């Protein structure tokens, strides 16, 4: 995507819009990477770029930027973001969505199976205790529960294998 296209989309977004820029760290190369690529490829690099940091910053809050919208940016790598992108005044609020606690796991399980009478807290509590807090993200749990959406017992039966996969993934990271 070019800077012009992003600028057009942002300026033509309806008033009171919520806009999501997902995985912003992957949207453009870092300044250091841009310099290295420019040195390596010279003028040919100029045609390789889609969106530049300057183009992104101008689209977010340059002369043509508009008020009346809420913009969310997500990343898995906060440390890779250019400080100019996340400086105070450009980013008003930062929140880390970490790994689930046991309480969150229990509540997710109960909300996922409300009609299955999981409201009895023992099955939800067993799910949370068996998985353990600090191991998985809410997205991972949601994906797992969707696979077993028809049966809470099916989710409980598959839980040991899911937990083992999560442990292996964590150890590789």
Query: pTM value?
Result: 0.66
- Please tell me the predicted confidence (pLDDT) of residue 29: 66
Radius of gyration of the chain (CA): 22
CA separation (Å) from 135 to 132, 159, 163, 168? 7, 13, 8, 11
Inter-residue long-range contacts of 85-89, CB under 8 Å, 24+ positions, other chains counted: 85/24, 85/53, 85/56, 85/57
- Please tell me the predicted confidence (pLDDT) of residue 164: 93
Q: How do the domains of the chain map onto residue ranges?
A: 3-80, 102-172
- Please tell me the predicted confidence (pLDDT) of residue 34: 64
Q: Is the pLDDT of residue 73 over 50?
A: yes
Each residue's pLDDT tens digit, 38-53? 677 665 555 445 778 8
Could you give the count of Cα atoms lying within 13 Å of 115 in the half-sphere of its Cβ?
A: 3
The chain-wide mean pLDDT, for the chain, equals 84
Neighbours of 119 (CB within 10 A): 12
Largest CA distance in the chain: 66
pLDDT above 70 covers a percentage of the chain that reads: 82
CA separation (Å) from 137 to 9, 65, 87, 102, 105? 31, 34, 27, 11, 10
């Amino acid at each position: 995507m070019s800077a012009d296209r992003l600028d057009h989309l942002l300026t033509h977004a309806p008033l009171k819009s919520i806009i999501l820029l997902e995985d912003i760290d992957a949207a453009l190369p870092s300044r250091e990477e841009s310099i290295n690529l420019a040195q390596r490829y010279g003028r040919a690099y100029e045609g390789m770029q889609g969106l530049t940091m300057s183009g992104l910053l101008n689209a977010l809050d340059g002369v043509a930027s508009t008020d009346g919208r809420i913009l969310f940016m997500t990343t898995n790598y906060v440390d890779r973001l250019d400080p100019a992108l996340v400086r105070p005044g450009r980013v008003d609020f930062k929140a880390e969505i970490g790994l689930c606690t046991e309480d969150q796991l229990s509540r997710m399980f109960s909300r996922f199976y409300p009609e299955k009478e999981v409201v009895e807290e023992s099955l939800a509590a067993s799910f949370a205790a068996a998985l353990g807090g600090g191991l998985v993200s809410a997205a991972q749990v949601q994906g797992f529960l969707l696979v077993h959406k028809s049966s809470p017992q099916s989710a409980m039966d598959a839980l040991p294998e899911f937990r083992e996969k999560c442990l292996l993934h964590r150890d590789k990271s």
